[in-house]
Amino acid sequence: SQKIEQNSEALNIQEGKTATLTCNYTNYSPAYLQWYRQDPGRGPVFLLLIRENEKEKRKERLKVTFDTTLKQSLFHITASQPADSATYLCALEDRGSTLGRLYFGRGTQLTVWP
Amino acid sequence: GAGVSQSPSNKVTEKGKDVELRCDPISGHTALYWYRQSLGQGLEFLIYFQGNSAPDKSGLPSDRFSAERTGGSVSTLTIQRTQQEDSAVYLCASSLGQRLGGYTFGSGTRLTVV
């Protein structure tokens, strides 16, 4: 069966450290993978997109890697801040599905404490 | 508009009643998606519109669910004869319809069926 698993439901780290979140997928053939941030009571907010032929993408303190051999994406937040506390979702578009339709993981709730 | 607007933000309805949820996407976004998010669950795809047509309705849970989009803009999701298991946050998202970037989500409609 198809699965998207994010490493843990919750991750707690100290301010200033690097947060690393994991997204593993099974039985998908992703054209690309996206990461979103979701705060309580709000819709997800798009952060980064990485294509199947890309290994790494960066945006300010954020870095995403994509390994299609391991079927895994890693999402890093460097120099983390309490304001980074939120739930982070990974999502992918499968080549065999409707163009643009995304499949989401359940998310990892990140808490950054001072 | 500047973002994706959804209304109402909250809806409490009695079991068996019909409800209509509205989504106003970003102007110029040709693709529109409905997802729902239940407590502790990932985002579940419902339906996708490209313009006014719906090439993928495969996520609609039952024939009590329907959606339409008019003028390539506003969309309404209708749930007939609501059941308690329909309680969830219904999220709408829009995009340019190409693999250029992520979705822009609205803040959702929290539906509670009592």
Q: Which of A28, A95, A99 to mutate to test the interface with B (most CBs of B within 10 A)?
A: A99
pLDDT (average), residues B72-92: 96
What's the CA gap between B92 and B111, in Å, rounded? 14
Does A41 lie at the interface with B, CB-CB under 8 angstroms?
A: yes
pLDDT (average), residues B68-93: 96
pLDDT of residue B98: 63
Q: Which of B43, B57, B58 to mutate to test the interface with A (most CBs of A within 10 A)?
A: B43
Residue identified by tokens 């080549």 is A95
Indicate the pLDDT class of residue B101, thresholds 50, 70 and 90.
Answer: confident
**Before B8, cis peptide (omega within 30)?**
yes
Cα A46-A50-A56 angle, rounded to 5 deg:
120
What's the CA gap between B65 and B70, in Å, rounded? 17
Indicate the pLDDT class of residue B100, thresholds 50, 70 and 90.
Answer: low
What's the CA gap between B22 and B110, in Å, rounded? 12
Does A13 lie at the interface with B, CB-CB under 8 angstroms?
A: no
Number of C-beta neighbours around residue A6 at 10 A: 23
B35 vs B97, which has greater pLDDT?
B35
pLDDT (average), residues B15-22: 98
What's the CA gap between B49 and B2, in Å, rounded? 20
Number of C-beta neighbours around residue B45 at 10 A: 20
Alpha helices in chain B (DSSP H): none
pLDDT of residue B4: 96
Residues 6+ apart with CB under 8 A from A79: A16, A18, A61
B68 SS3 class: strand
Alpha carbons within 13 angstroms on the beta-carbon side of residue A96 total: 4
pLDDT of residue B99: 64
Indicate the pLDDT class of residue B47, thresholds 50, 70 and 90.
Answer: very high
Residue B82 pLDDT greater than 60, yes or no: yes
The DSSP code for B97 is S
At CB < 8 Å, which residues of chain B contact A?
A: 4, 31, 33, 35, 40-43, 45, 48, 55-56, 91, 93, 95, 97, 99, 101-108
Residue from the list A31, A42, A100 with its beta carbon closest to the beta carbon of B31: A100
Q: Tell me the average confidence (pLDDT) per consecutive run of 10 residues in chain A, 114 residues long.
A: 86 96 95 94 94 94 96 97 97 84 93 96
